[in-house]
Amino acid sequence: MYPMILKPALKDYIWGGQRLKTEFHKQCDYTKLAESWELSCHKDGLSIINNGELQGKSLLDYINSDRQNILGTKCEKFDYFPILIKLIDAKDNLSIQVHPDDEYALKNEGQYGKNEMWYVIDANPDSFIYYGFNRDISPDEFKERIENNSFLEILNKVKVKKGDTFFIESGTIHAIGSGILLAEVQQSSNLTYRVYDYNRLGNDGRPRELHVDKAAKVINFSKKVLSEFNSSIDDEYNKLKLITSCDYFRTYKIAVNNAINLQTNGETFHCLVNLEGKLNIKIDASVTEMKKGQTVFIPANLEKYEVEGNGELLFITV
């Protein structure tokens, strides 16, 4: 058992840029690099273990070899690996979209729905997201606005800055705007209903598919108001800054200045995403170097470890 550096699956969607290459050292030949799936057991982009005796093995295969000990007791309620973690470079606007909840997705799509959170790593001064509607609307108005190209007028536009955190509940219409670099923690799902795409063409030269009728069945059409997350919520890691908590994952932001001790106690796996600086993960005499842009998986049965150095990371668990 050891801290596992993960090799991500990379995605070249049309709205991507270069920052995941230049700032987070992702290596590929893509002209546009939009997403780096840092930790994924999803069939559309599996993470690969990139160090130690298990190098070259997929994280999914490793977990399936001893699921209970690797994921811990808190994951027994899930019949699948529950989370997917991404780094996202939105050089251009993403499409306006929505994700269904588990009940609808399992019944109609044969897969899980999607709740997600965004942590803004960096953003241009004028960058914004779309987050829900700015007033209550009806399903009929929703479709009419898309047809007459006035859809953006009814969306809730929210300016963003570095360090902002947003929880995107399933059923919430949303989009990342241009000039934003962020980390996304989500359910392990790749199910998206796209409803508006600025009349863009995809890589194949054709308009990208929209899913308006499906989206209308799952969207929350009520006005969406941003709510502050209660970071004082009781939690076993109360020495850290908890920035999101839901039924599927908890996300913390950690500023490492010198050293911090963490422990799984066999209860749950940990995932560390290095956003800034050079860090070392120490277990007794063993040291694993963690560079900026790298993601590390800590099995539940590793129990205790230390992170030392100076940097900033996201710490994700269930």
200 is catalytic: no
Q: Which of 135, 194, 206, 208 is labelled catalytic?
A: 194
SS3 of the chain: the string is CCCEEEECEEECCCCCECHHHHCCCCCCCCCCECEEEEECCCCCCCCEECCHHHCCCEHHHHHHHCHHHHHCHHHCCCCCCCEEEEEEEECCCCCEEECCCHHHHHHHCCCCCCCEEEEEEEECCCCEEEEEECCCCCHHHHHHHHHCCCHHHHEEEEECCCCCEEEECCCCCEEECCCEEEEEEEECCCCCEEEECCCCECCCCCECCCCHHHHHCCCCCCECCCCCCCCCCCCCCCCCEEEEECCCCEEEEEEEEEEEEEECCCCCCEEEEEEEEEEEEEECCEEEEECCCCEEEECHHHCEEEEEEEEEEEEEEC
Which residue in this structure is represented by tokens 């668990």? Answer: 317
Active site members: 194
